[in-house]
Amino acid sequence: MNSLSMFSKSAYARNILTYLLFNVVTIGAVLGYIYFSTVEVIENEVAEVVETEIRALEEEYIANGIPGLRAALSRRIENADGDAVYLLSAPNNQPIVGNLLQWPNDITTDGEWTIVTLIRRDTSQSILVGARAYSLGLGAKILVGRDMRARRDFQNTLTGAMIGAIVLMIILATIGGAVFSRLVLRRLKSIDNTARSIMGGDISKRIPVTKQNDEFDQLSETLNEMLSKVDDLINELRVATESMAHDLRSPLTRLRGHLEQSYLKLDEQSSTAIDIEKAIFETDRILKDLNALLNVARLETGIVNSQMEDVRLFDLLNDVSELYIPLVEESEMTISTSISIDQDIKVKMNAQLMAQALSNLIENAIKYAGRGADISISAIRNKDHISIMIADDGPGIPSADRKKALQRFARLSPERKEGGMGLGLYLVSVILKIHKFELSLLDNKPGLKAEIIIPLS
């Protein structure tokens, strides 16, 4: 059911069905016109033959009366093919001469062409007859017609041929639609692949352009020009941001040094020393934010992709979690680890960046969970991936804000007093995106649970 739903929603399927429907309607209309036109032509020809016979018999009646007409009909019945139908009846509808058992009740004698079911005298079988009937003098009536069996056989043959043609057309249209759709969607797929590569961090990626110079190539060239301009703007912004961070880091470091020297010369309990200590704390926070900003800029350039290596994930998780035991105890919290994966499992990654991502998640839990909170670090292996979870039982993040929390410079609660530029979780998401790992923020009931999915190839 899911596969059928996905197929019905795909452009590939819609293109095939649209192409198929168009061909079925078009060819069906053409074949229908041919069918009804051919049947009408055949019926008109039969009607003309009958009309010609009627005129000849009418002349015979005028020349020789009923006896002559009777003799002419007898000769025609004797020499006629099996399709000819004749009947001359008396005023009381009693047959005088003919190859029909009786005069039909549902036929008029006005000479109009009509198709009725009659019974032949020689076979006693019902047949479909196209006929004309006229009144003669003294109440006598004559009916001349043709067995429409040949027309019916032709209709059946033509119907079978049309059904076969429609089936063949459906098969060919399906193949043609599939080929046409594949050609179109293949070009769209290249655009989609390029867009996904760009979203994955490869800003230099461009849409392939063929030599056909068609509308797709024109669209690709336009999009490539747009991407180049966007790339230039991003690079300019990144360079400006990185330069500003570099330029600020040196004077801030010197400022911190001066503040620390002044602090050492003062009494720790004095108001001036307390103010300088606060200034040092704020300077450290600004330096930390600038370093984070520089790290983001460096990661977004993609220069770390070539620094991947096989790393024992079990050892990395243990090392990172042990670093935070003193800090957690100082904050009157508890931290527990449950790493249920094989110690020999190796994952291709940048160990330093991955350690930084895990550290950011643990620090985020320590920072917002509050004193007395419980923090847990766990890892389990599923069939095709490893799941790493860092959870706390603090206030957590509302579900509506979790996506925003992963954005650059995200500040969820203005009333929070904790410092920072909102780059912690964003930096984690950038690092994991480089590794092609997935990050989800979930409800821990209570608290927040950050889950990292590492696919196993």
> What would the pLDDT profile of 364-402 be if each residue is shown by its tens digit?
888 888 788 889 999 999 888 999 999 998 888 888 888
Neighbours of 225 (CB within 10 A): 11
pLDDT at residue number 2 = 47
Beta carbons of 76 and 97 less than 8 angstroms apart: no
**pLDDT above 50: residue 6:** no
**pLDDT above 50: residue 415:** no
pLDDT at residue number 389 = 93
Taking residues 142-171, report their average pLDDT. 81
Pair of tokens at residue 212: 């056909």
pLDDT at residue number 343 = 87
Q: Please tell me the distance from the alpha carbon of residue 72 to that of residue 54, in angstroms, as a whole number.
A: 12
Pair of tokens at residue 159: 């119907």
pLDDT at residue number 380 = 92
- Selection from 88-102, 105-119, 152-166, 375-389 with the highest mean pLDDT: 375-389
Residue 82's closest CA among 154, 156, 150?
150
Q: Please tell me the distance from the alpha carbon of residue 303 to that of residue 137, in angstroms, as a whole number.
A: 111
Say whether pTM exceeds 0.85: no
Taking residues 317-324, report their average pLDDT. 89
Taking residues 26-37, report their average pLDDT. 80
Q: Does residue 331 sit in helix, strand or coil?
A: coil
Q: Please tell me the distance from the alpha carbon of residue 143 to that of residue 87, in angstroms, as a whole number.
A: 5
DSSP strand pairing (309-312 vs 334-340)? unpaired
Beta carbons of 395 and 443 less than 8 angstroms apart: no
For tokens 């007093």, name the residue. 417
Domains of the chain, earliest start first: 10-153 (3.30.450), 215-300 (1.10.287), 305-455 (3.30.565.10)
pLDDT at residue number 293 = 67
